[in-house]
Structure 1
């Protein structure tokens, strides 16, 4: 009976050690994934900011082009 108790105790201790090792590895993986997600989110935010800046520049260029077109039309009418 004592041998069974000892064998059970050793088996449960081994399972506990294995479980703790898996938990530590899972926690390490979770931290690594969180860092990767942060990096991806930062890159995404940078790309969105850059896209917004480019869209703003396009809108400004369209407005400038419209003003130039109006000025040319006014000049052409004045030269008649």
Structure 2
């Protein structure tokens, strides 16, 4: 049984990293969206479309990241910790 001790440690590490990502991903997305909003207000008309697109892509990336993180957390739930 001692041969599988590293699996338990790896599962705990992945679980802790997943928990950290639940905090880091939204905070980073909020910072990027705020930055793009500030840039949007200072941009010309033809540049505003790019900042709108960047905001949309940031929100989509947040949704994909949180979904992937939830899926990994779901898979980790099947391993004993």
* TM-score band, normalised by shorter chain: 0.3 to 0.5
Task: Compute the TM-score of the two structures, normalised by the length of structure 2.
Answer: 0.44
Higher RCO, Cα 8 Å, sep 6+: 2
- Rg larger for: 1
More helix by share: 1
